[in-house]
Structure 1
């Protein structure tokens, strides 16, 4: 079991570190991570019109704008997470390149941007999910923001989606203590390279 105090301290420290980065620094690191992602090899990434779940950064996370643009360029179907209730799993709604950073996104109660309308699908219908995180370790364990949305959403998913962490290099720690319900990563993309678990 994870010590909640340790998690709290780690979350606070790494979130603070994310916020010290300047806009140009974040943009550059987002670009470098997208370049790393372009080298990733997986059968789902070769699939025409693969369904990819991704998030729009909102709390100092590694930016996803270059990544979203790359996904559209490759012809993937892009889905954003939608919070319907704090105790329920996430739903995912397909977006187009035209509305990805424009009007049809609103901020939900927890501050992230999500589509206001569209057909909702479940995480298990995605081929790939690119996940935000506060920290990850060398075994692919992930520490999220604390809401448990991704853990709930992926709890009953077996063979897909492929779970990819999206993070700054400093978010990689030696070891995280995990709970039985914590969902780990299959891969991670950092500005400096790729990790396969």
Structure 2
């Protein structure tokens, strides 16, 4: 199936998950995140969950990383050019929900995209080659193309990968790893 079909199917599948199913799936994902090798990682970019989209709750991962003295980087979306700007997410950082339901930092310190060591990437579904389908605006493909060559990329997903995603193009960047229950 192509990205458009997969996006529609997996948005619906995620909508249909119950709270208890989500909790069980998240716990399995958290366990796998805690098993990752964080050697050489001093900072990690992570997405904040869009609750209305039933995205994985990343706050427990943020706390796990902070306990390991890893700085947290989050983004603010620019919907005019579909780009992301990155900020340090300190425990004192104020968050504001934008019009799309995305929590974003207010008054936080900028962070250089080329210095990010690890990126946790949101997705709706991935394939067995670790290509992903997101919401279709290309925010993360643009973002990842600007990261340093050795950045570690890890997708977080509730669903097992499909065999292949049809219709990939030169802008689609495979992830190094996808974690799913």
Q: Tell me the TM-score normalised to structure 2 length.
A: 0.89
Report what 1:10 is aligned to: 6
Report what 2:114 is aligned to: 124
Cα deviation for residue 9 of structure 1 reads 2.0
CA deviations 1:87-142 (Å, max 9, x no partner) are: 1531111112354xxxx111224321110121222432210000001111111111
Counterparts of 1:108-187 in structure 2 under 5 Å? 108-170=98-160, 172-177=161-166, 178-187=168-177
CA deviations 1:141-178 (Å, max 9, x no partner) are: 111111111111122334232111011134x1110121
Gaps of 5+ in 2: none
Indicate if the aligned counterparts of 2:47 and 2:74 stay in contact, CA closer than 8 A.
yes
Q: CA RMSD, aligned part only?
A: 1.9
Number of aligned residue pairs: give it. 178
Indicate if the aligned counterparts of 2:45 and 2:119 stay in contact, CA closer than 8 A.
yes
Report what 1:194 is aligned to: none
Q: How far apart, in 2, do the equivalents of 1:37 and 1:96 lie?
A: 21
Q: Give the SS at the match of 2:49.
A: coil
Q: Which moved more, 1:19-28 or 1:176-185?
A: 19-28
Q: Give the SS at the match of 1:145.
A: coil
Report what 2:39 is aligned to: 46
Q: How far apart, in 1, do the equivalents of 2:30 and 2:79 lie?
A: 31
Q: Tell me the TM-score normalised to structure 1 length.
A: 0.82
Q: How far apart, in 1, do the equivalents of 2:174 and 2:148 lie?
A: 12
Gaps of 5+ in 1: 192-197
The 1:65–1:149 alpha-carbon spacing in structure 2 relative to 1, beyond 3 Å, is same
Q: Which moved more, 1:22-31 or 1:68-77?
A: 22-31
Counterparts of 1:32-71 in structure 2 under 5 Å? 32-41=28-37, 45-47=38-40, 50-58=42-50, 59-71=53-65
CA deviations 1:62-82 (Å, max 9, x no partner) are: 221221121112111011111
Note if 1:73 corresponds to 2:73: no
